[in-house]
């Protein structure tokens, strides 16, 4: 009887937690849409079509096409940079490293993943940024610097996630592959990776989401120019950087304020699209 009550209480607590999480998610969507409406009504399609981001001018202009494109550029380039490196580190740790090596490196990686992004941004700003002018690139904060910062920020979490999914594959699969004559690297890359694909996909999506939502690194290392960069050494500004730097000054309920909420809505939509794409790809790969 007592065990039954305990069990029911646990179930109820779990149900409440799930409902709260879902309600919070819908709440965020609701408020983002609600606060974005004034900007959508007053600015309309220009929000997407124009590059003119002049929110503090009279009259203000709220074209965030460049900010949106920059967020996508950073996410795509960042993910392309991080995931392959994280994957090879994970493969090495999974199959080739000794137990002791694996344990030390894993601990270190987990520790690195806990370093606040502002520290990474600050270190790169202080020590790496001055190198650019010294080698003839007269833009000390730029896309390349931000990508390097994002790389160090996301590589630990991406590696840990990929490693966990590789480690979760049953050993028998790898043994069977080896028995058929496949070399270890081929086994890990073809057999283990295929079996661990859902976890690897999840790691890629989480990496992309981490990059698209990253604020402080792009704010401090990006240079804050609201234009689409044409080369890696150009400065740029993303949606998150605009929200972080401009929200404190935006008068409440002004169009600027509403446009920044719209920027938040676009970011949430990006995250949702990444998530759905990964689900679709996963389904296709299972067929």
Partner 1 sequence: MRKFILTIAFVSLFAVFGFATALVIKGSNTMLDIAQLWVEEFNKQNPDIKVTLEGAGSSTGIAALFNGTTDIANSSRWFKDSEVQKMFEMKKWFAPVLVAWDGIAIVVHKDLPVKNLTIQQIKDIYTGKITRWNQIDPNLPARDIVAFSRNTASGTFEVFKEKVLGDEKMSPRVRMLESSMAELETVAKTPYSIAYFGVGYVDQSVKVVSVNGVMPTKQNILSSKYALSRPLFIFIDVTKGWPEEGPVAEFLRFVMSKKGQELVEKAGFVAALGQ
Whether residue 30 contacts residue 36, with contact meaning beta carbons closer than 8 Å, is answered with no
Cα separation, 99 vs 281, whole angstroms: 34
Minimum distance of partner 1 from residue 167's CB (angstroms): 37
Question: For partner 1, which is the closer residue by CB, 48 or 96?
Answer: 48
Tokens read off for 51: 């590059």
Question: For partner 1, which is the closer residue by CB, 98 or 126?
Answer: 126
Among 208, 220, 221, 260, binds partner 1 (CB under 8 A): 220
Tokens read off for 145: 């610097």
CA atoms within 13 A on the CB side of 18: 6
Question: For partner 1, which is the closer residue by CB, 153 or 221?
Answer: 221
Is 278 a binding residue for partner 1 by CB under 8 A? The answer is: no
Q: Hey, is 181 helix, strand or coil?
A: coil
Is 147 a binding residue for partner 1 by CB under 8 A? The answer is: no
Is 158 a binding residue for partner 1 by CB under 8 A? The answer is: no
Question: For partner 1, which is the closer residue by CB, 139 or 202?
Answer: 139
Site for partner 1 in 20-59 (CB under 8 A): 51-57
Is 167 a binding residue for partner 1 by CB under 8 A? The answer is: no
Q: 1, exposed or middle or buried, with CB in 10 Å at 0-12, 13-18, 19+?
A: exposed
Of 27-35, 42-50, 145-153, 224-232, the segment contacting partner 1 by CB under 8 A is: 224-232
In DSSP terms, which residues pair with 61 in a beta bridge?
A: 54
Of 153-161, 184-192, 197-205, 247-255, the segment contacting partner 1 by CB under 8 A is: 247-255
Beta-strand runs (E) in the chain: 53-54, 61-62
Beta-strand runs (E) in 80-238: none
Is 138 a binding residue for partner 1 by CB under 8 A? The answer is: yes
Cα separation, 124 vs 146, whole angstroms: 9
Question: For partner 1, which is the closer residue by CB, 29 or 54?
Answer: 54
Residues 6+ apart with CB under 8 A from 254: none
Name the nearest CA neighbour of 197 among 166, 154, 158. Answer: 166
Is 259 a binding residue for partner 1 by CB under 8 A? The answer is: no
Is 178 a binding residue for partner 1 by CB under 8 A? The answer is: no
Among 251, 283, 284, 287, binds partner 1 (CB under 8 A): 251
Is 227 a binding residue for partner 1 by CB under 8 A? The answer is: yes
Is 245 a binding residue for partner 1 by CB under 8 A? The answer is: yes
Cα separation, 147 vs 70, whole angstroms: 12
Q: Binding residues for partner 1, per CB under 8 A? A: 51-57, 61, 66, 130, 133-134, 138-141, 219-220, 223-227, 235, 237, 245-246, 248-249, 251-252, 254
């Amino acid at each position: 009887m007592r065990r039954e009550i305990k069990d029911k209480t646990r179930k109820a607590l779990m149900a409440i937690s799930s409902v709260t999480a879902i309600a919070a998610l819908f709440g965020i969507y609701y408020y983002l849409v609600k606060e974005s409406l004034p900007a959508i009504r007053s600015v309309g399609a220009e929000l997407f079509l124009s590059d003119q981001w002049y929110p503090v001018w009279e009259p203000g202009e709220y074209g965030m096409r460049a900010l949106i494109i920059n967020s996508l550029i950073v996410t795509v380039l960042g993910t392309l940079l991080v995931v392959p490196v994280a994957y090879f580190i994970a493969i090495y740790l999974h199959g080739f490293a000794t137990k002791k090596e694996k344990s030390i490196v894993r601990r270190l990686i987990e520790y690195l993943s806990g370093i606040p992004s502002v520290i990474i941004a600050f270190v790169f700003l202080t020590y790496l940024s001055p190198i650019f002018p010294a080698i003839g690139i007269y833009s000390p904060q730029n896309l390349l610097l931000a990508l390097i910062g994002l790389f160090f920020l996301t590589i630990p979490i991406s590696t840990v996630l990929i490693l966990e999914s590789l480690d979760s594959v049953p050993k028998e699969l790898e043994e069977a592959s080896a028995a058929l004559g496949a070399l270890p690297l081929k086994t890990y890359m073809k057999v283990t990776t295929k079996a661990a694909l859902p976890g690897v996909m999840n790691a890629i999506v989480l990496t992309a989401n981490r990059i698209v939502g990253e604020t402080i690194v792009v704010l401090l290392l990006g240079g804050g120019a609201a234009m689409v960069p044409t080369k890696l050494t150009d400065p740029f500004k993303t949606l998150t950087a605009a929200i972080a730097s401009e929200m404190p000054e935006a008068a409440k309920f002004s169009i600027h304020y509403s446009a920044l909420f719209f920027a938040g809505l676009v970011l949430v939509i990006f995250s949702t699209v990444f998530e759905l794409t990964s689900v679709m790809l996963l389904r296709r790969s299972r067929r």
